[in-house]
Amino acid sequence: MASPKILVVGSSNTDMVIKLDHLPKPGESVPGGEFFTSPGGKGANQAVGAARAGGDVTFVARVGRDMFGEQAIAGFASEGINVDSVIRDPDHPTGVALIFVSGDGENSIGVALGANGKLSPDDVMAAKGAFANAAILLMQLETPVETVQAAAELATQCGVRVILNPAPARALPAGLLKHVSILTPNETELELLTGMKIATPADAEMAADCLLETGIETVVVTLGSKGALVANRSGSQIAPGFCVKPVDTTAAGDTFNGALAVALAEGQALAEAVRFANAAAAISVTRMGARSSAPTRSEIDAFLANNPQ
């Protein structure tokens, strides 16, 4: 069976990571800790997550004409990702993320967008051929919202389903939301999008229902170790997570989204696709790093076989 074609429009960063006993509070310096760099960016992480999960991925992005940009493109190519639409920006550097990771696996992240902030609707239109061939368009919000909207509109014209991971959360125009098939916020993003406090799964369900009223077909709220809430006009249910010992939660949501796109493009039912994505995310949190933590398809399939629900 041919691999499903996934189109990812989004960001590419170089992550600079420090592992510490605990995350610094405002004004606090935390000494010690391991330092390393790794490729990242929500768009790139999701593209790699989808490729490793079995997708035939094309990536639309901007990187700088610098060492980090060249390393990023080489990394995408090594994962089998089509890089024809990854643009080398002559005027802006590759994006950078500074990440603190605590001893219990939680993280705090600051991002300098660099070339990501210059990804434009024209860049999207230049990749129109890739839209025509895709089964799923997967996007995030580390690039300009007008570019995200242009991509969503083009996907709709081409009959392509749109998954939007609203991270980092921001106000979303109605003109974008009406083109979104599946919105995948985490609990924090759900709060910011709806203005509702999320303390329980029931709160998440009420907030998801509010988002469905905007015209979105399905809302999948990632709940960390608790799994995911799946809500649409037929009702809502919790897709339980898997019990693992977390080492680093960086990019778990990106891994989830990449795997979800592949499963849906393969024709898996929504519940099964979310379970597949939960498994991929569970594996990823047991490993250090962002993109490097994404599991392969064989690893996901083996994990699911060993963890029946």
**What is residue 46's predicted lDDT score, i.e. its pLDDT?**
98
Whole-number Å distance between alpha carbons of 9 and 193: 21
Residues 6+ apart with CB under 8 A from 52: 79, 258, 294, 295, 296, 297
Q: Are 142 and 10 in contact (CB under 8 A)?
A: yes
Q: Are 50 and 57 in contact (CB under 8 A)?
A: yes
CATH code at 160?
A: 3.40.1190.20
Peptide bond into 31 cis (omega under 30): no
Whole-number Å distance between alpha carbons of 118 and 123: 9
Q: Does the residue 29 lie in any domain?
A: no
Q: Are strands 161-164 and 182-183 parallel, antiparallel or unpaired?
A: parallel
Residues with a catalytic annotation lie at 254
Q: Are 189 and 211 in contact (CB under 8 A)?
A: no
Provide the token pair at 236.
Answer: 């809502």
In this prediction the pTM is 0.92
* CA nearest neighbour of 303 among 222, 219, 243: 243
Ramachandran area for residue 33 (φ above 0: left; ψ -120 to 50: alpha; else beta) = left
Number of compact structural domains in the chain: 1
Residues 6+ apart with CB under 8 A from 171: none
Q: Are 217 and 232 in contact (CB under 8 A)?
A: yes
**What is residue 1's predicted lDDT score, i.e. its pLDDT?**
67
Q: Does the residue 169 lie in any domain?
A: yes
Q: Does the residue 214 lie in any domain?
A: yes
Q: Does the residue 142 lie in any domain?
A: yes
Q: Are 168 and 143 in contact (CB under 8 A)?
A: no
Q: Does the residue 51 lie in any domain?
A: yes
Give the chain's count of helices (H) and strands (E).
Answer: 11, 13
Sign (positive/negative) of CA torsion 290, 93, 43, 50?
A: negative
**What is residue 275's predicted lDDT score, i.e. its pLDDT?**
97
Q: Does the residue 247 lie in any domain?
A: yes
Domain that holds residue 230: 5-23+34-306
Place of tokens 């809302």: 219
Q: Does the residue 28 lie in any domain?
A: no
Full 3-state SS string of 277-309 = HHHHHHHHCCCCCCHHHCCCHHHHHHHHHHCCC
Whole-number Å distance between alpha carbons of 230 and 238: 6
Q: Does the residue 181 lie in any domain?
A: yes
Can you give the pLDDT of all 309 residues of the chain as single tens digits? 689 999 999 999 998 989 899 999 999 999 878 898 888 899 999 999 999 999 999 999 999 999 999 999 999 999 999 999 999 999 999 999 898 989 887 888 888 999 999 999 999 999 999 999 999 999 999 999 999 999 999 999 999 999 999 999 998 998 999 999 999 999 999 999 999 999 988 999 999 999 999 889 999 999 988 999 999 999 999 999 999 999 988 889 999 999 999 999 999 999 999 999 999 999 999 998 778 899 999 999 999 999 987
Q: Are 111 and 96 in contact (CB under 8 A)?
A: yes
Place of tokens 């004409």: 65
